[in-house]
């Protein structure tokens, strides 16, 4: 078996990249350490020198997702102080992240975590909650009070829409574009917010 001359950090990254690539296939084979080792042309023992378990590999992917998504959220919040634009930009980013990172979408919806350690699904749930909390904070700065709209419920609705589109994308074998028709959809979603347009 080949290729054990990489530095530990490089090999760890290669393992995670290969795992993500396997998840991007429309009908992926069952992800096992044996299948992953075959893809990398190494022994399973070689994998366990870098990760104690398959769960740790998935944790590595979740860490990448967290760092990427919340880094992008921070950048979007810094780009505009308009809460409506912040919400729209975050939702659009979440849909496009899935489009560009198909394998990660299967992690985000928990599809590949079903038979894994329960802590992995819990961590994904916490990631969803953090995003929803951020949306709620943005919505609180919008003129929703007199319209009777609850920022908490709206944030939950928007997050449910994103997760629903992630599911459709993954379950369609990545054929159903999660960002399809987004500008028109956002216009419909933003109507009840009574957003004040800039002068």
As for how many domains the chain has, the answer is 2
Per the structure, the complete domain to which residue 130 belongs is given by 53-193
Asked whether residue 32 falls in the same domain as residue 115, the answer is: no
Q: What is the pLDDT of residue 142?
A: 75
What's the full length of the chain, in residues?
199
Residue 199 confidence (pLDDT) above 80: no
Spell 46-76 as b/e; 16+ CB within 10 A means b. bbeebbeebeebbbbbbebbeeebeebbeeb
Tokens of 124: 């994904």
Domain assignment of residue 149, yes or no:
yes
Contact 90, 51 (CB under 8 A): no
Which pTM was predicted?
Answer: 0.87
Asked whether residue 155 falls in the same domain as residue 120, the answer is: yes
CATH number at residue 182: 1.10.357.10
Asked whether residue 18 falls in the same domain as residue 38, the answer is: yes
Asked whether residue 135 falls in the same domain as residue 37, the answer is: no
CATH number at residue 7: 1.10.10.60
Asked whether residue 129 falls in the same domain as residue 184, the answer is: yes
- The 10s digit of each residue's pLDDT in 66-95 is 999 999 999 999 999 999 899 999 999 999
pLDDT category at 1 given cuts 50, 70, 90 is very low
- The 10s digit of each residue's pLDDT in 90-123 is 999 999 999 999 999 999 999 999 889 999 999 9
- The 10s digit of each residue's pLDDT in 8-51 is 688 899 999 999 999 998 876 778 999 999 999 999 999 999 99
Residue 145 confidence (pLDDT) above 60: no
Asked whether residue 137 falls in the same domain as residue 120, the answer is: yes
Asked whether residue 12 falls in the same domain as residue 36, the answer is: yes
């Amino acid at each position: 078996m080949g290729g054990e001359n990489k530095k530990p950090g490089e090999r760890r990254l290669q393992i995670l990249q290969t795992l993500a690539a396997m998840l991007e296939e429309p009908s992926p084979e069952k992800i096992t350490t044996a299948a992953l080792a075959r893809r990398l042309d190494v022994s399973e023992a070689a994998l366990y020198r870098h990760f104690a378990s398959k769960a740790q590999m998935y944790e590595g992917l979740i860490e990448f997702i967290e760092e990427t998504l919340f880094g992008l959220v921070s950048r979007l919040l810094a780009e505009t102080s308009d809460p409506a634009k912040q919400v729209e930009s975050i939702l659009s980013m979440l849909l496009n992240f899935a489009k560009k990172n198909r394998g990660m979408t299967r992690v985000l919806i928990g599809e590949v975590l079903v038979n894994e350690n329960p802590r992995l699904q819990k961590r994904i749930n916490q990631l969803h909650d953090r995003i929803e909390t951020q949306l709620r904070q943005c919505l609180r700065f919008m003129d929703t009070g007199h319209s009777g709209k609850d920022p908490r419920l709206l944030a939950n609705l928007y997050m449910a829409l994103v997760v629903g589109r992630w599911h459709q994308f993954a379950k369609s074998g990545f054929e159903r574009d999660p960002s399809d028709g987004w500008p028109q959809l956002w216009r419909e979603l933003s109507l009840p917010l009574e957003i004040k347009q800039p002068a």
